[in-house]
Structure 1
Amino acid sequence: MTLKIVAYGVRPNEVEFFHKLNKYNYELKLVEELLTHDNIETAEGQDVVLLRGNCVADRQNLEKIKSYGIKYVFTRTVGFNHIDLEACKEMNLMVARVPAYSPNSVAELSLTLAMMLLRNTAYTTNKTKNYNFKVDAQMFSKEIRNCKVGIIGTGKIGLTEAKLFKGLGAEILGNDPYPNENAKEILKYVELDELLKESDIVSLHIPYFKGENDELINKNFISKMKDGAILINTARGELQNNEDIYDAIKSGKLAGFGTDVFPNEANTFFKEFSSGDEMEDQSVRRLVDLYPKVLVTPHVGSNTDEALKNMIEISYDNINEVLTTGETKNAIEAK
């Protein structure tokens, strides 16, 4: 019998990859929309549910999935906070993830946002698109080789970004509770307060742990940053307090903010609004309206050819491992 997989949040440009990489000949049902309470019925008749970030895998949906006779709820993401692991454990649903994918995908986006803000390219091109070619004071900038870049979280992604900035001549500072020996050739480890005080650019690459580092980027965090610094978050939206960042940009404490994430971003990302008034989270609107000092991308850090290939291949391998051995090394469960 051919295994049936329903995958959610499959963008049109990803369809070809799902079919081309299907070396196990699974029967695929590719759904463009994210999994919600309104479309959970599309999982009926399938053997495996394959999610992406911001899919709703709460108890309500998991009970439905269980009732359909599905045993496997897998995600093609590193993060898994969109899945109720406690409910999965109770219902004996196996969960697996993709533990890593191309670190360059997110690291390159972080660097791009930072460099756009440092060199004021969004500001400048926004002027020239209106045929204004005058050079003003806002277009003046430092060169990156005269800057210090602080990387918070020096795992694969953080270290990759550090290497990219190092290649451009920047001095790199790092902070991580678990220092990476390989990273010490690229950066200097310092305490968080020192990193914030010294860095012209601060970039986050740390996981989100509910109840532990919620809104890490808040008024107190920002107050310790260098005046006129640039802040980048391509990690998790729950790490930031939107209002405190807004206040810091408005006051001039921060020169710029680049983000690929927001708290509760499913309410905003992957939707189109005719006006900002329609947005459920008005703190997001206020930040977006600060363009070009605030640059927002809708969680596209992993939206690259290599990262997509990694996520699909590893997801397919996870499923095959379970079918052939009864388990997978990438399984996760509630502690």
Structure 2
Amino acid sequence: MKGKIICFGVRDYEKPYFEKLGKQYDYDLVLRSEYLNNNCWELAKGYEAVMVRGNCPVDGEHMKLLKENGLKYYLTRTAGYNHVDVKACKELGIETAFVPGYSPNAISELALTLAMTLLRNVAYTCDQTHNGHFKVTSQMFSREVRGCTVGIMGCGRIGCTTAKLFKGLGANVIGYDVFESEKAKEILTFKDIDSFLKESDIIICHMAYIPGKNDNFIDDKKIASMKQNAILINVARGQVLDTEAALKAVKENHLAGLGLDVISQETTLFNKDFDPKHMDTPMHQEIIDLYPRVLITPHIGSATDLALVDMIEVSLKNMDEYLETGHCKNSLIK
């Protein structure tokens, strides 16, 4: 046995995958359902290696306490890492690594599903029939995706996968990215931001979040520049979208629909239960009240079998690299 790793945020359906891969890579994986944070940091006390997922924020003060109690390796099984205090890890000498890429199809398929559900008014229609109403209404009439221009904001590996899916359905696909890769150019047509916003019937956000650089990148002005009746989908990070501005645009019938798999301050909403008539904040209440034109899923973009295997396997390979060489190509410390 190479060593013991305590893994946080492990859901019941994920346990068999952890157990199988733990045996395959010769690690003793201790599985916890709790999400590691400042309030429960003691759960990781005494462990040299910790594996977390998103929504496991631990600040520098508590990272220091973990270091004093044996922590050497802090692994996140996610591509996003804004929940990891990389600066504190570097200062404390804690090795930390991430998973730069896992099944891009997982997130792309969800983006497509949210977009098509809104485009074809599926949630509204199913609500009608569920309540016994089988008459075709004007809201059931829709556009076809082959007659739409789909804009991909953030044209990396996941963005390109989404572009291929929509292109396969016959849509015209355009893109916006500060880096216009040759690979993406084979799939879509790049546009400047103004043209991108004005031409897109459906906008899918896959933009990476860079704290302090692109907070609320999709703001009220950019939303106002979008086409009338556009559909906006955010499956990237909540911080890149001004969600309140997007909700306002739906209420005012500028946007036809909004699909969210992420929001800012996710820990206040996700992995909790609420009375839908009495949500914890006005914005969260508005998200619920605007259904079925606003759809929200609790950050399930990576909740697929193949993505899960990728996330666990790459994390264990990262651990292997540290043990064998003292370094890791996926290190967050530069």
Question: Is TM more than 0.5 here?
Answer: yes
How far apart are the structure 1 equivalents of 2:323 and 2:282?
46
Q: What is the Cα deviation at residue 211 of structure 1?
A: 1.3
Do the aligned residues in 2 keep the contact of 1:154 with 1:174 (CA within 8 Å)? yes
Match of 1:121 in 2: 122
RMSD of Structure 2 on Structure 1 (CA): 1.2
* Superposition TM-score, scaled by structure 2 size: 0.97
CA 1:308–1:252 in structure 2 vs 1: closer, same or farther (change >3 Å)? same
Query: Deviations for 1:22-69, whole angstroms, at most 9, x for unmatched residues?
Result: 222211111111112232111122120101001022113202211111
Q: Is structure 2 residue 312 aligned with structure 1 residue 312?
A: yes
Q: What is the Cα deviation at residue 223 of structure 1?
A: 0.9
Match of 1:329 in 2: 329
How far apart are the structure 2 equivalents of 1:190 and 1:136?
36
Q: What is the Cα deviation at residue 278 of structure 1?
A: 4.6
Match of 2:291 in 1: 291
Do the aligned residues in 2 keep the contact of 1:217 with 1:239 (CA within 8 Å)? yes
SS of 2:39 mapped into structure 1? coil
Do the aligned residues in 2 keep the contact of 1:154 with 1:205 (CA within 8 Å)? yes
Instruction: Please list every run of at least 4 consecutive aligned residues from structure 1 whose deviation after the TM superposition is greater than 6 angstroms.
Output: none
Match of 1:58 in 2: 59
SS of 1:332 mapped into structure 2? coil
Do the aligned residues in 1 keep the contact of 2:276 with 2:285 (CA within 8 Å)? no
How far apart are the structure 1 equivalents of 2:159 and 2:122?
24
Q: Using the TM superposition, name which of 305-314 and 180-189 deviates more.
A: 180-189
Do the aligned residues in 1 keep the contact of 2:197 with 2:226 (CA within 8 Å)? yes
Match of 1:209 in 2: 210
Q: What is the Cα deviation at residue 275 of structure 1?
A: 4.2
How far apart are the structure 1 equivalents of 2:131 and 2:61?
50
* Superposition TM-score, scaled by structure 1 size: 0.97
SS of 1:292 mapped into structure 2? coil
Q: Is structure 2 residue 101 aligned with structure 1 residue 94?
A: no
How far apart are the structure 2 equivalents of 1:286 and 1:202?
21
Amino acid at match of 1:25: D
Query: Deviations for 1:206-253, whole angstroms, at most 9, x for unmatched residues?
Result: 111111111112210101100000000000000111211111000000
Do the aligned residues in 1 keep the contact of 2:63 with 2:88 (CA within 8 Å)? yes
How far apart are the structure 2 equivalents of 1:153 and 1:278?
32
Do the aligned residues in 1 keep the contact of 2:119 with 2:143 (CA within 8 Å)? yes
Match of 1:5 in 2: 5
Do the aligned residues in 1 keep the contact of 2:38 with 2:59 (CA within 8 Å)? no
Q: Is structure 2 residue 10 aligned with structure 1 residue 27?
A: no
SS of 2:263 mapped into structure 1? coil
Where does structure 2 lack aligned partners over 5 or more consecutive residues?
A: none
Where does structure 1 lack aligned partners over 5 or more consecutive residues?
A: none
Q: What is the Cα deviation at residue 178 of structure 1?
A: 1.2
Q: Using the TM superposition, name which of 270-279 and 229-238 deviates more.
A: 270-279
How far apart are the structure 2 equivalents of 1:274 and 1:225?
33
Amino acid at match of 1:16: P
How far apart are the structure 1 equivalents of 2:317 and 2:2?
15
How far apart are the structure 2 equivalents of 1:330 and 1:147?
38
Amino acid at match of 2:206: H
Q: How does 1:143-158 map to 2 (within 5 A)?
A: 143-158=144-159
Match of 2:46 in 1: 45
Q: Is structure 2 residue 76 aligned with structure 1 residue 75?
A: yes
Do the aligned residues in 2 keep the contact of 1:242 with 1:284 (CA within 8 Å)? no
How far apart are the structure 1 equivalents of 2:275 and 2:284?
15
Do the aligned residues in 1 keep the contact of 2:276 with 2:288 (CA within 8 Å)? no
Q: What is the Cα deviation at residue 164 of structure 1?
A: 0.3
SS of 2:329 mapped into structure 1? coil
Match of 2:245 in 1: 244
How far apart are the structure 1 equivalents of 2:142 and 2:80?
36
Amino acid at match of 2:300: V
How far apart are the structure 2 equivalents of 1:56 and 1:236?
15
SS of 1:21 mapped into structure 2? helix
Do the aligned residues in 2 keep the contact of 1:242 with 1:287 (CA within 8 Å)? no
How far apart are the structure 1 equivalents of 2:240 and 2:199?
21
Q: Is structure 2 residue 326 aligned with structure 1 residue 302?
A: no
Q: What is the Cα deviation at residue 21 of structure 1?
A: 1.1
How far apart are the structure 2 equivalents of 1:274 and 1:31?
27
Amino acid at match of 2:4: K
Match of 2:275 in 1: 274
Q: How does 1:94-243 map to 2 (within 5 A)?
A: 94-243=95-244
Q: What is the Cα deviation at residue 117 of structure 1?
A: 0.3
How far apart are the structure 1 equivalents of 2:185 and 2:300?
29
Amino acid at match of 2:223: I
Q: What is the Cα deviation at residue 2 of structure 1?
A: 4.5
Do the aligned residues in 2 keep the contact of 1:3 with 1:26 (CA within 8 Å)? yes
Q: Using the TM superposition, name which of 282-291 and 69-78 deviates more.
A: 282-291
Amino acid at match of 2:221: N
How far apart are the structure 2 equivalents of 1:55 and 1:323?
24
Count of residue correspondences: 333
